[in-house]
A and B are shown apart, each in its own frame.
Chain A
Amino acid sequence: MKAIICSLCYVIFAPLIGGLLDGLDRKISARMQGRVGPPLLQPFYDLNKLHNKQLIAVSKSQTFLMISYLLMMILTGALFYAGYDILMCFFVMSTASTFLYFAAIVTGSPYSTIGASRELIQMMAYEPAVLLACVGFYLCMGTFDVAKIINSVVSPIVYLPGFFIAFVFILTIKLRKSPFDISTSHHAHQELIKGLTTEFGAKNLALFQLTEWYEVTFLCGVVGLFIINSNPISIIGAIAVVFVVWFLEILIDNCSARVKFDLMLKISWIVTLLSAGVNLLILMINR
């Protein structure tokens, strides 16, 4: 019962939380650049406008693919917040990304095709860290179930600091932030027009944004999972850590330039190997 309520809450409130975080992001970014910035609710205004525009799509299947992407992402988060297997969640999330990839290449536009292939490279860059994080949770908690992980006596981060660093690092890729926003940027301009989303207009772009918000809320949940333990006070700690990580991402976004894909792949794998890999070794030895 509790599981159902939690996942229902996610389905209803995730867009709100994601949208507000997005608005906060734009506001803080603007302040970092010495600007006033858009209102906090700007992402919702954008979504509303996109919903009211005429839909021009080169291929009709694009809308279907985008809806599948959205539904898969909702499923990911719902499974996570219901306390199911975390490994399963990440597999469903990868499936969702595949739908996004197809929605981009189905148009045949050179920009979105390049963006889509870069998205695949991004997946290659972040997948190891994500999977290792799951392994880490299993090694220290003896289970993949989120419901059991949050009931541990000590916070998982005590055993998994390296995994946490690797996960926060690849979060930059997942959130499409500089320096790793190579497939499509969170911001308006980039060298590939809008990369992956070049051919998404009107409702399809709205679906994309909505899915991003679900995804952000899910990822924040995973960050929180590192902190949470059986003590209810740890929830406050988890929320605080999520905000610190979010602020850090904005800071990195605003003071770095986009890198090439090979550099991204190298850096993210090296960081994953060094922090998560070493952490894994220590866990294995101490078992």
Chain B
Amino acid sequence: MSMVKKSPWVLHYDGSSCNGCDIEVLACLTPVYDAERFGIINTGDPMQADILLLTGGINSQNQAVVKQLYDQMPRPKVVVAIGVCACTGGVFKECYNIIGGADTTVPVDIYVPGCAARPQAIIDGIVQAIDLFQKRSDEHELLMKNKGKKADLKTKENNNSSDKGNEA
């Protein structure tokens, strides 16, 4: 078991939000709240991110983008929906272009309600996400270990290693 929870890197994506929640997310990084003291870094790169923060609802144009961002993040990963818009669609729910909350497109783990969600609530949501991230990481580690063992057995049993054992 390794302590991955000390270094959660965050990717923030703004769906069709009114920008209220985004400003609050960025406020978390300011000296007042200073999310970096938990090791949180707001990175812009999905390949290096652990936690995906989604603000705003999903519309027909950004659905593919959100999906791709989620797919590009290496496992283990956690998704947090911030603000009522990302949770359910919020005030924009009835709009013709809105599909709904973030969970219509990617599996959301933690919902942070509020309009706009306050920085305290956002940090609380991320802290919960961090625990989940640690849990997932432990599971992932175990899975990889067992997979390695199985692969070893397989190669011992029949020496033709046709099984490539690609990415988990």
Residue numbers of A with Cβ under 8 A of B are 26, 30, 33-39, 42, 45-46, 48-49, 51-56, 188-190, 193-194, 197-202, 205
Contacts and interface: CB of A to CB of B under 8 A. Distances in A.
Given A53-B75, A54-B74, A197-B48, 16 more contacts: A30-B36, A35-B36, A36-B37, A45-B3, A45-B39, A48-B4, A48-B7, A49-B4, A52-B137, A52-B140, A53-B74, A188-B41, A189-B44, A190-B44, A198-B47, A199-B47
Interface residues of B, number: 28
B72 interface: yes
Given A42-B6, A54-B140, A201-B74, A37 B36 contact: yes
A38 B37 CA distance: 4
Contacts of A202: 74
* Interface SS of chain B: loop
B116 to A, nearest CB: 21
A194 B167 contact: no
A46 B41 CA distance: 10
B34 A37 contact: yes
Contact of B31 (A34, A42, A193, A201): A34
A207 B34 CA distance: 28
Given A42-B6, A52-B4, A188 B34 contact: no
A55 B31 CA distance: 33
Given A45-B6, A198-B47, A54 B34 contact: no
B41 A56 contact: no
Contacts of B6: 39, 42, 45, 48-49
Contacts of A35: 31, 34, 36-37
A38 B42 CA distance: 13
B42 A189 contact: yes
Contact of A55 (B2, B37, B38, B74): B74
Nearest to A192: B44
Contact of B44 (A38, A46, A194, A205): A194
Among B3, B6, B47, B50, the one with the most A-chain Cβ atoms within 10 Å of its Cβ is B47
B141 interface: yes
A89 B7 CA distance: 34
A33 B31 CA distance: 7
A264 B6 CA distance: 36
A63 to B, nearest CB: 13
